[in-house]
Amino acid sequence: MMKNKQVDIFFLLLIIEIFAVTTLLIMNIKEIDFIDYILYMLTFLVIVVSFYSNLIIGLITSAFLVFGYGSYILYEGLFHENINIASSYFWIIVFPLSAFISGRLSDSINDIQNKKIKLEKQISSLVTVDAITGFNNIKEFYKDLNEEMSRAKRHKFYLVVMLVEIQYLEELISIYGIDKINKILKSISILIEKVTRTEDKKYRIDEDLFAIIMPNTDISGADIVKQRLKKELESIKVDDDSKTNTYKLDIKISALQYNDRISNSFHFKELVQKELEYDI
């Protein structure tokens, strides 16, 4: 809220300053000369530089302009004696003032944007459920897999991780569109729920990758689930408006049983993913 108020304040000050400078020029149109128009344009240059860089660069730019204009005033005063003191001080004040207001406005906007990005990241880190399928995401996958690996190691339980990969997802999106692909993904998640047990834990860990943690299941039991799943995923039915369409996708499925040589959940997932290469 404070940052929003700062943006409002500095934006208002910038508008007031531009309005004041423009009004003074218009009111004194008969007395101003070409140098005033140059200084007016340089004021906008300071505003642009300060806004699109930062306050420090804006103030440095204005300092150079003040130095340059001051040198010009000194030259005119020494050799021509026809300078307007009030006008000179006016421009010397306008340059740094423009840099300060525009720079602070830019800083306030950047602070808001950075805070927004930070909040989005924090919200993203809190979200553990995939919005399309309703399955948990990769963060929960690694957390749950670590727990199941510890349990399997401690009690000598069986544990299998299964991966289901959709081939050529990017190409499918370009052909069917993202909305239809999301419906297909939802249908795949329903079929996975249908084939697996209630105690099996289901995840969508990548755009094209589903994972299933299967506690108290050995590789032979997982192979039965794998064959059922392959059969179910041979043709995927999706309700499109008033009709039902069937889609045939290239699906790869792999499964691997936990053993003591698997060091951690990342290693486990990597090994299962490598098994996908052998699923033809």
Same domain assignment for residues 116 and 146: no
The band of 118, judged by pLDDT with boundaries at 50, 70 and 90, is confident
Report the C-alpha dihedral over residues 47, 53, 58, 61, rounded to 10 degrees. -100
Same domain assignment for residues 70 and 163: no
Same domain assignment for residues 97 and 176: no
What CATH number is attached to the domain comprising 237? 3.30.70.270
pTM assigned to the model? 0.59
Question: What is the tally of structural domains in the chain?
Answer: 2
Q: What are phi and psi of 236, to 5 degrees?
A: -110, 120
pLDDT of residue 128: 79
Q: Which of 159, 109, 99, 115 is nearest to 5 (CA)?
A: 109
- Range of 232's domain? 138-278
Same domain assignment for residues 160 and 262: yes
- What pLDDT, in 10s, does the model give residues 243-270? 888 888 899 999 999 999 999 999 999 9
Is 248 among the domain residues? yes
| pLDDT-above-70 percentage for the chain | 86
Same domain assignment for residues 193 and 103: no
Is 132 among the domain residues? no
Same domain assignment for residues 151 and 271: yes
pLDDT, mean of residues 80-107? 78
Spatial separation of the C-alpha atoms in residues 121 and 180, rounded to whole Å:
28
Same domain assignment for residues 77 and 20: yes
3-state helix, strand, coil in the chain (%, to 5): 65, 15, 20
Is 131 among the domain residues? no
Q: Which residue has the tokens 């300092």?
A: 63
Cα–Cα distance list, 123 to 119, 128, 136 (Å): 6, 10, 15
Cα–Cα distance list, 156 to 144, 161, 217, 220 (Å): 17, 16, 12, 17
Same domain assignment for residues 151 and 267: yes
